[in-house]
Structure 1
């Protein structure tokens, strides 16, 4: 609504501005002002038909470089008429400036996460990406439809800044950006590398992998974009008794984290794994050792450990920290071609825990990328049978690229440049 009001005020200003110049033509024909053509004092002064004879006297008193310089002399009637129009224009211009300022303020304060998915045929940001993981390459895996890539997120109260890859690379030249988490964090990291590379497709880059750490470097910009596979965030250590999930320690990772300018964390899905998919044998906390415990409670303890590290080690003036909201999965996503309509406001218990922990922290220290609710409508964005497992299994957890994680990175970019 505010943007519409600003547009109306702008149109009114343009109309008044055009009216001022139209009045010159009308008033000249009615003799309300006189136009003199002033000859050079070095030339022979002549009376010009249609102009006042006073021009000859003025030309002798003034030294002009050109031989015929047009000058407008106003009569009182013209001055009064034009003053009224100019005053109107100035008032409308002031309103326009105030309105645009308020509109900018609205963009900086509106909730980017409340809105709707709208079709936009200018999307996606990229159609192919040479270093894309097979698990996310739905088109390469044979997905026949394309509509799922043509939706953008539209906040309800403002327009979100469109992603500009060159601007991102320039702003963060010489910086280090690190994603920490599970395969959903990998999903977002791959999305951002593809979005940035697409903006400078001939740029030189390196992609280096060592253990659970992958680093993509844009050499021209000296920008490092890394992913640290760490699905629990807290430490897993090997002991004589087996692998221990240590809920009150991040000592094994903090040195890596603290060497970055932007950090994006993610954790939850691996907390639900059991059996052979569970990468730990027992849980440790303080002097206690447990075979297992309530997973949601363990998740909350781990988040609080991470929060203590952030509170004690992060300088928000130097390092920007984000936590990716819990990415939703769906029980079945087969043959879904468009976003869901009328999604209920279900509150994921893990998301509630995450919001509670981050809500207890300094708001300038950590920002929540609140992607849970907006992503629940995108049942169409999962790989389904066009993921890593193909038709042997249906993937309704990860996301096709190009796709939904691109929007997460648009939100990341919008937040970074807004601050």
Structure 2
């Protein structure tokens, strides 16, 4: 009979007094976990399966005993400072880096800009494990969509992953060449059946020369702020999708070129460029919500990376404690994601990039532009954008790629979904 011999109906009452508070505590714990540690877009069943089938030590988010209020409050990977690290850069030469952005080959005498590592406040990032990420991306399609900054991040990721490939010739540029006007680029890592694509779409929304009736002669083309461009059909079924825009939303790139804004086939004369960008972000995030299968595709919206035209030839990062600047381009994106309740993740690189005036191309380029304080040197700051993207995927319990041991940070991280 064993334990059953000691169980009788009279025990049920007293046992209920213990069962009810235990059940209440368990449900409360699961509710807190749901609100703080399960990122938007994550299937809860997959999250808990990954959590409880992996050991706490190997889990990318750590065990419950490591989820302290201090960790949750202090570990924001997008807030921190740059520290000098002699172990950087992650690569020195790369066939996928645009020649105009390889500053040390174009005469830049100092190499310190390659050796700054981003250290978040209250925690640390693991080293970028190229072999690990390459294995997780096996059989995948990664797509970058946006302006030339998106192309730079695409080049950076290809170069970072190339370091883990023994036979460098097996990683090929199969659609190129890499130029600033290329509308589509693709690199294939044959050993992993992995493709990494870039689609050029500086504004993301639809545009063209089919003007509204009775448009003034000064109007050469329009941007349809309420309509997504056709290019979306090419990339919405990716496994990982990274989207960015921002640098073309200026007076120089729009009104002064004869490019005006249009909503519902009506020309919006006098609309401010910032207002147009805000409206475009709402269109793009809404379109992604409606057309991308988030069970298949992990979507990142990468925020605006500021230029530093007033800080030409800077040699050091700025001090995070004294430099504070708000960029509306980043604010508009965050608000659009919140407004549309998007499951996409915000890769908020605005602040960390704003501290790096030393990381720009300047005149160490092969471009006809005499001074470039907008684009970034490679190796350099764009490598960090990919590092925080890599870690963001790890701390989401690797829903896309399945449970596996991961590089551990010096401090565990469990980010609240509210920070995304």
Could you say whether these structures have the same fold, taking a TM-score greater than 0.5 normalized by the shorter chain as the test? yes
Give the aligned partner of residue 414 of structure 1. Answer: 391
For residues 292 and 103 of structure 1, do their structure 2 counterparts lie closer, same or farther at Cα, with a shift above 3 Å needed?
A: farther
Relative to structure 1, the CA distance from residue 343 to residue 367 in structure 2 (aligned partners, 3 Å threshold; closer, same or farther) is: farther
> Is 1:239 aligned with 2:210?
yes
C-alpha deviations, 1:145-179, integer Å up to 9, x for none? Answer: 11111111111222212211111111111111111
Displacement after TM superposition at 1:410 (Å) = 0.2
Q: CA deviation at 1:287?
A: 2.9
Higher-Rg member (1/2): 1
Q: Deviations over 1:204-224 (max 9, x none)?
A: 022113850111111111111
Superposition deviation, residue 125 in structure 1 = 0.4
In structure 1, the gaps of 5 or more residues are 1-95
Answering whether residue 84 of structure 2 is matched by residue 119 of structure 1, we say: yes
Shift of 1:324: 1.0
Contact 2:282/2:340 (<8 A) preserved: no
Whole-angstrom distance in 2 between the partners of 1:177 and 1:292: 38
* 1:283–1:292 CA contact under 8 A, matched in 2: no
Match of 1:224 in 2: 195
Structure-1 residue corresponding to 2:327? 348
Distance verdict in 2 for CA 1:378–1:331, change over 3 Å: same
Counterpart position of 2:277: 299
Is 2:185 aligned against 1:206?
Answer: no
Q: CA deviation at 1:259?
A: 2.1
Q: Are the structure 2 counterparts of residues 362 and 277 from structure 1 closer, same or farther at C-alpha, using a change threshold of 3 Å?
A: closer
- Number of residue-to-residue matches in the alignment: 320
Alpha carbon RMSD of aligned pairs, Å?
2.5
**Pick aligned residue for 2:155 from 173, 190, 194:** 190
Which one of 108, 117, 126 corresponds to residue 152 of structure 1?
Answer: 117
- 1:336-415 counterparts in 2 under 5 A? 336-341=314-319, 342-362=321-341, 365-389=343-367, 393-415=370-392
Q: State the structure with bigger RCO (CA 8 A, min sep 6), 1 or 2.
A: 2
Secondary structure at the residue paired with 1:193?
helix
Unaligned runs of 5+ in 2: 1-56, 397-420
- Please list the CA deviations of residues 68-126 of structure 1 after superposition, one character each: whole Å capped at 9, or x if unmatched: xxxxxxxxxxxxxxxxxxxxxxxxxxxx99xx735854678831111111111111100
Which of the residues 142, 146, 150 maps onto 2:107? Answer: 142
In the alignment, the residues of structure 2 paired with residue 155 and residue 105 of structure 1 have an alpha-carbon distance, to the nearest angstrom, of 18
Residue 181 of structure 1 and its aligned partner are, at CA, apart by 0.7
Cα distance, 1:379–1:114 mapped onto 2, change above 3 Å:
same
Instruction: Tell me which moved more, 209-218 or 344-353.
Output: 209-218
Moved more, 217-226 or 254-263: 254-263
